[in-house]
């Protein structure tokens, strides 16, 4: 059994990008903590990152709904 290039790309994009998103969450949390951003500043940082994550998730939801 061999894995195709498309399957490898799909796995890399899904799990690799998921790992990097998790790592970015850690970096933003550390940045907010080290800079004493406060509650509102931390909220803004995570909100901006959350919009990017939401866009990534929406792409897969749209693909699933359209059956692509």
Mean pLDDT of 2-24: 87
pLDDT at 1: 72
pLDDT score recorded for residue 26: 93
Per-residue pLDDT reduced to its tens digit, 28-63 = 999 999 999 899 999 998 998 888 888 888 988 898
pLDDT of amino acid 39: 92
Per residue in 12-49, is it b (16+ CB within 10 Å) or e — as a string? eeeeeeeeeeeeeeeebeeebeeeeeeeeebeebeeeb
């Amino acid at each position: 059994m061999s894995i195709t290039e498309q399957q490898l790309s799909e796995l890399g994009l899904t799990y690799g990008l998921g790992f990097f998103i998790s790592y970015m969450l850690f970096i933003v949390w550390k940045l907010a903590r080290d800079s004493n951003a406060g509650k509102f500043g931390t909220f803004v940082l995570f909100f901006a990152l959350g919009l990017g994550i939401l866009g990534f998730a929406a792409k897969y939801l749209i693909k699933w709904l359209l059956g692509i």
